[in-house]
Amino acid sequence: MLAISADAGAWWNEQWTVRKKITLDTTAAGGAISEPVGTATVLVRLYEGNFQFGTARDDGSDIRFIAADDKTPLKYHVEKYDSNLYEAFVWVKVPDVKPGAQVTFWLYSGNASEQAARGDDAKGSYDPDTLLVYHFGESGSAPVDVTAGAHNAENAGVPASGSLIAGGLRFAGQTGVIIPLAADLAWTEGGTATISAWVKPTMLAPGAVLLSRREGDRALVIGLDNGVPFVEVTGPGGAQRSKPTAEAPLAVNVWRHLAVTATGSQLTVWLDGESYATLAAGLPALNAPIILGKEKTAEGGADSATATFVGEIDELQIAKVARPAGWLKLAAANQAGGDKTAKLLVCGEDEASKHGGESEIGKQFSLLADISKSLTFDGWVVIGLCALLAVVGWVVAVTKFLYLNKIKKATNTFLAHWVQISGNLHILDSGDEETVKSMGGKATPKTQMMMRQSPLYHIYQIGFGEIQDRLATARENFSGLSGRSMQAIRATLDGGLVREVQKLNSSLVFLTIGIAGGPYLGLLGTVIGVMITFAVIAKSGQVEVNSIAPGIAGALLATVAGLAVAIPALFAYSYISSRIKDAVSDMHVFIDEFVAKIAEFYSEPKR
């Protein structure tokens, strides 16, 4: 349900019926960014938990971002919007982000008008210092630069659809992706620049190249040397490579934000917004193609196979200025996802427009409220009973659903331990009850507590209790289990199964009462209501639609209440019953396996 703010303030446009406040928090309680940031393009992740996709158009074309004054539109563009998967990635340009402060803006949606054109402006979403941005959302085509520079790659890479932010690029030894030369991408000697991207190595290798640029005897290379990020500059005097103050190599299959900034005579490597390494060298003068994922030889010949990066890259950005530390920290925290992102970018509750008129759902509720005024006392009694049935049914359904989830989790844990000991059951011959409970000492007390929820664990204890009794009785003369003993053990296990099935089916009768009794209660209320309505008409002598319709409508409301009890109860019962059948089948299978295993390990010797 939409939460309507008591003090909604100004509304940007009445055609948009829903909005939510988004807060970019750089204070200690949020992103904890104390360095200057400036204008930043932040990623707004939308999912079912923070955005009602049902209120927006299917393609997301009606979403808008408005500044805190509720007047100024913010530039934005949608990288991905999927209303079926309830997932969207939107980039919003937020001007003048200050450290240790909060910036708020509004997300508007809910304009069903076909005349509402898309509001995306990818080129305007980035400041003029941003030269290139690759989202890598293409499939089978070359990466596209979404900025005004239009520096599209020359060749397509291997797409990675499930990357960090929507699509990414996967490198596994193939030819590198080439960014062609352009006048505004040229570097001057000792100039300023920032190159940033998200990287996820899937294999660590010496000298793996993420990005390279070479012209004659000058070159710049950014890479990972056995997982250690580095920047290397080559000039007439040879090559110089940065060395981290404390080597902390990247882990495989983990996304990290890597950036290199150039300021005059120093290059700095940044990892997740923190300074990682420096190099006392300036940016070389280069105006050559930029290659992602590989390095070319000094002569510009074929790709070098020894400098291949194996992994994924996402969100490549190149700027003509050295981004400040606050900007890099914001990008790393905002785009990573998880708790840091949730603290940095906070989405508020939805607010409904007071000017948008009453919604269709609101109209339906208003109509039901009017009909309820015609209900007689007995109708209210029936609806009250139906409400009681509904509450009891939902309590049973939710309780049983949670119980079955616990059983499933406990059963999976138990079966994982059972597989470990089922190959040699003699480890449980000690006669110690604790050894049986801990499954030969392999289950910790915490794991045992979890497994107690599993019916299979109960049956397992019953079975080994029977075996231990026979071992204790026979003592040293035990020579195996006879066929009669095996039948007795199976009978005991079957008895345990029956008791477990009784536990699983307990309280389900309340759902069946709701399924069967709800419609009958509703029908009773409707029949009595219709009888009273016709009796009143007969007594008054006035036969017209206006005198009949309200009473009939009120009487039918009781049937609606009965069906509202029965239909959810039917669905819940069907689902829970199927889950119980699965649990019972697991018990049958386990008993068969258990009996077969003990027959194998405790069989009588052949005579």
Same domain? 168 vs 111: no
- Residues near 452 by Cβ (< 8 Å), separated by ≥ 6? 410, 458
Q: Is residue 209 pLDDT above 90, yes or no? A: yes
Q: Identify the CA nearest to 208 among candidates 179, 164, 250, 248.
A: 250
Same domain? 119 vs 137: no
E strand spans, 455-607: none
Residue 485 domain-assigned (yes or no): yes
Same domain? 347 vs 492: no
Determine contact, residues 305/205, Cβ cutoff 8 Å: no
Same domain? 446 vs 410: yes
Check residue 299 and give its pLDDT.
46
Give the domain range for residue 181: 130-320
Determine contact, residues 83/59, Cβ cutoff 8 Å: yes
Same domain? 52 vs 194: no
Q: Identify the CA nearest to 389 among candidates 566, 570, 567.
A: 566
Residue 187 domain-assigned (yes or no): yes
Q: Is 357 left (phi over 0), alpha (psi -120 to 50) or beta?
A: left
Check residue 531 and give its pLDDT.
86
Same domain? 105 vs 135: no
Same domain? 517 vs 561: yes
Amino acid, res. 176:
G
Residue 327 domain-assigned (yes or no): no
pLDDT in tens, 409-457: 999 988 888 888 887 777 776 667 777 788 777 888 888 888 888 999 8
Q: Identify the CA nearest to 258 among candidates 269, 247, 242.
A: 269
Check residue 305 and give its pLDDT.
46
Determine contact, residues 355/227, Cβ cutoff 8 Å: no
Same domain? 253 vs 152: yes
Collapse the DSSP code of 406 into the 3-class scheme (helix H, G, I; strand E, B; otherwise coil) and give the result. helix
Helix 377-421 vs helix 508-540: angle between axes, to the nearest 10 degrees?
A: 170
Mean pLDDT of 540-563: 75
pLDDT in tens, 128-180: 999 999 999 998 899 999 999 999 999 998 999 889 999 999 998 767 899 99
pLDDT in tens, 507-540: 889 899 989 988 998 898 888 888 887 887 777 6
Determine contact, residues 29/100, Cβ cutoff 8 Å: no
Check residue 577 and give its pLDDT.
93
Residue 538 domain-assigned (yes or no): yes
18 φ, ψ (degrees, to nearest 5): -135, 140
Residue 13 domain-assigned (yes or no): no
Check residue 431 and give its pLDDT.
63
Percent residues over pLDDT 70 in the chain: 89
The one-character DSSP state at 250 is P
Check residue 357 and give its pLDDT.
46
Strands 87-97 and 76-82: antiparallel
Determine contact, residues 576/400, Cβ cutoff 8 Å: yes
Mean pLDDT of 194-223: 94
Task: For residues 188 and 60, give the distance between their C-alpha atoms in angstroms, rounded to a whole number.
Answer: 42
Check residue 484 and give its pLDDT.
84
Task: Write a three-state SS string for 150-176.
Answer: CCCCCCCCEEECCCCCCCEEEEECCCC
Tally of domains within the chain: 3
Same domain? 203 vs 109: no
Q: Is residue 62 pLDDT above 90, yes or no? A: yes
**Pure H helices in 422-505:** 433-437, 445-451, 455-474, 483-505
Rounded to a whole number, what is the distance in angstroms from the first to the last CA of the chain?
Answer: 76
Check residue 601 and give its pLDDT.
80
Who has greater pLDDT, 466 or 148? 148
Same domain? 124 vs 138: no
Residue 358 domain-assigned (yes or no): no
Q: Is residue 369 pLDDT above 90, yes or no? A: no
Determine contact, residues 168/300, Cβ cutoff 8 Å: no
Q: Identify the CA nearest to 62 among candidates 4, 106, 120, 131.
A: 120
